[in-house]
């Protein structure tokens, strides 16, 4: 390996979860020229399960950021290169994130095999040893001033595609002087374009093979893609314009202009993509059964207030969810057969002697379900601490993939949205999920008289392959019994 190759080290997108294939770069913490140290977090990425920070495994100075924020990158793709010997002498400046100043590496076969290999680009997959690079780069060339950066309109549009805001309206650009014809790619060869440009073309629905390149060496630029998109839109608008011209003038006189579009398309990725896949897999794999029960929780609500005054619970977050979670755990203890999993591959039912209690949490990133490990063995104060930590971590967006793995049953509190209950869908691999409805005053027969009582409706969905109707009914009835008389049942059953 040459000295240059040893000098520059590349960091690839790792698999930060369990078999994940891609992650979106949410935020870069460093820029080109920044000094980094071994273990320093250089960016935050979002996977299908969580948002995590990536530490760099070596020291040096950032030489190149390969992708912009908002770009989804496959696991194993180089995302950053670092100059590990910054004192060894000057180097050619690297492109900022998105690679706007230099074209990205293309396979040697696509460039005719005539380009000299650029030193220092041998890929190093962290944790798997060094491997020689199979790609070659074209030498960087100085570009005309007008191509040094995309126009403000193009930059704003790219931000919109990356989810960072809407592209503002801008006056039409002044006509540019005619440029000499750019060399075309050989017939059948893959069009030359940088990764961000390829993503832009994909988002806009543009086939790169149909785009005329204007960049040096036949490279397709962002402006080329925008020009192709504008031409396509203009062609599509011509038939509509012809129809509009054929309409009588009186039909449009005094009328409000028609609203264009009316739709907003959002890419399916991250937590939303993972949630959709999980729910479809669960709904069409596990036969769901949902049972309901309406219960008087007046005594539970009084116990919540009493516990807030208890010195042993000082500093802990006490709320109805805590006692409902405890009631669910007591019901599972009395009916352990419900705490199981269906192993389709081995045709086995796996009974578990631990309860990893999932709590569905609505976060800015979407719905996630972290779980409290071995919740069934925790005391009430320990359970309160675990719940508070789980909620705080979820709100901060710091829930790890490990915290969302291995759940056995789940609680979802839809009552906080003011609804009575729902028919929850199981998390894949789990046997049951309990939905909590809103708690409100209702007329209720209590001790032979109609009185205003605090009432809620619970819904329990379970996997009918694992749980028969009798078992599911017993579990739900036990949860209700604990909530109706928690002082007695938590002592006799807990």
Q: Would you name the residues annotated as active-site residues?
A: 464
Structure tokens at 155: 């930059």
Q: Is 330 exposed, middle or buried (0-12, 13-18, 19+ CB in 10 A)?
A: buried
Q: For residue 440, how many other CB atoms are within 10 A of its CB?
A: 13
Tokens of 18: 């369990």
Cβ–Cβ under 8 Å, residues 333 and 492: no
State the SS3 of 377-412. HCCHHHHHHHHHHHHHHHHCCCCCCHHHCCCCEEEE
Q: Do the beta carbons of residue 295 and residue 437 sit within 8 Å?
A: no
By the 10 Å C-beta count (0-12 exposed, 13-18 middle, 19+ buried), 259 is classed as exposed
Alpha-carbon distance of 99 to 197, in angstroms, equals 9
Angle at 277 between CA 275 and CA 281, to 5 degrees: 115
List Cα–Cα distances, 416 to 176, 192, 193, in angstroms. 58, 53, 49
Q: What's CA 472's distance to the chain center, in Å?
A: 33
DSSP 25: E
Question: For residues 269 and 48, what is the distance between their CA atoms, to the nearest angstrom?
Answer: 7
Q: How many residues does the chain have?
A: 494
Q: What are the CA-CA distances from residue 133 to residues 49, 137, 263, 434, 481 (Å)? A: 31, 11, 44, 52, 66
- Look at the alpha carbons of 63, 66, 68, 71 in this order and tell me if their dihedral is positive or negative: negative
Tokens of 268: 């399916």
């Amino acid at each position: 390996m040459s000295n240059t190759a040893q000098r520059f080290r590349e960091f690839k997108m790792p698999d930060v979860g369990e078999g994940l294939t891609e992650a979106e770069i949410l935020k870069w913490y460093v820029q080109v020229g920044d000094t980094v140290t071994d273990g320093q977090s250089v960016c935050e990425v979002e996977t299908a399960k969580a948002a995590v920070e990536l530490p760099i495994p070596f020291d040096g100075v950032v030489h190149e950021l390969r992708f912009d924020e908002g770009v989804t990158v496959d696991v194993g793709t180089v995302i950053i290169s670092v100059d590990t010997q910054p004192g060894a002498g000057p180097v050619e400046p690297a492109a900022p994130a998105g690679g706007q100043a230099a074209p990205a590496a293309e396979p040697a076969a696509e460039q005719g095999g005539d380009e000299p290999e650029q030193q220092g680009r041998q890929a190093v997959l962290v944790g798997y040893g060094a491997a020689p690079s199979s790609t070659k780069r074209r030498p960087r060339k100085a570009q005309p001033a007008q191509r040094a950066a995309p126009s403000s309109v193009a930059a704003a549009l790219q931000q919109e595609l990356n989810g960072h805001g809407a592209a503002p309206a801008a006056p039409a650009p002044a006509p540019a002087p005619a440029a000499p014809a750019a060399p075309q790619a050989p017939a059948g060869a893959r069009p030359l374009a940088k990764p961000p440009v390829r993503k832009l073309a994909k988002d806009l629905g543009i086939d790169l093979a149909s785009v005329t390149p204007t960049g040096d060496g036949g490279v397709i630029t962002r402006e080329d893609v925008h020009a192709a998109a504008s031409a396509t839109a203009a062609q599509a608008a011509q038939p509509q314009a012809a129809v509009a011209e054929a309409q009588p003038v009186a039909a449009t006189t005094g009328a409000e202009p028609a609203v264009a579009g009316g739709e907003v398309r959002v890419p399916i990725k991250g937590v939303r993509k993972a949630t959709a896949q999980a729910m479809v897999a669960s709904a069409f794999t596990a036969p769901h059964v949902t049972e309901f029960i309406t219960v008087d929780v007046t005594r539970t609500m009084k116990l919540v207030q009493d516990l807030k005054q208890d010195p042993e619970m000082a500093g802990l977050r006490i709320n109805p969810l805590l006692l409902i979670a405890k009631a669910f755990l007591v019901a599972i203890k009395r009916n352990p057969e419900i705490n199981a999993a269906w192993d389709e591959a081995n045709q086995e039912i796996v009974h578990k002697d631990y309860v990893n209690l999932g709590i569905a949490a609505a976060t800015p990133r979407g719905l996630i379900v972290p779980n409290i490990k071995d919740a069934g063995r925790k005391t009430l104060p320990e359970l309160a601490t675990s719940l508070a930590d789980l909620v705080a971590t979820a709100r901060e967006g710091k829930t790890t993939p490990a915290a969302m793995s291995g759940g056995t049953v789940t609680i979802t509190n839809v009552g906080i949205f003011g609804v009575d209950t729902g028919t929850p869908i199981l998390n894949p691999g789990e046997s049951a999920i309990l939905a909590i409805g809103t708690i409100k005053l209702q007329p209720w027969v209590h001790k032979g008289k109609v009185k205003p009582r605090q009432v809620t409706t619970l819904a329990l969905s379970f996997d009918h392959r694992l749980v028969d109707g009798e078992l599911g009914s017993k579990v739900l009835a036990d949860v209700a019994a604990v909530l109706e008389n928690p002082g007695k049942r938590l002592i006799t059953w807990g």
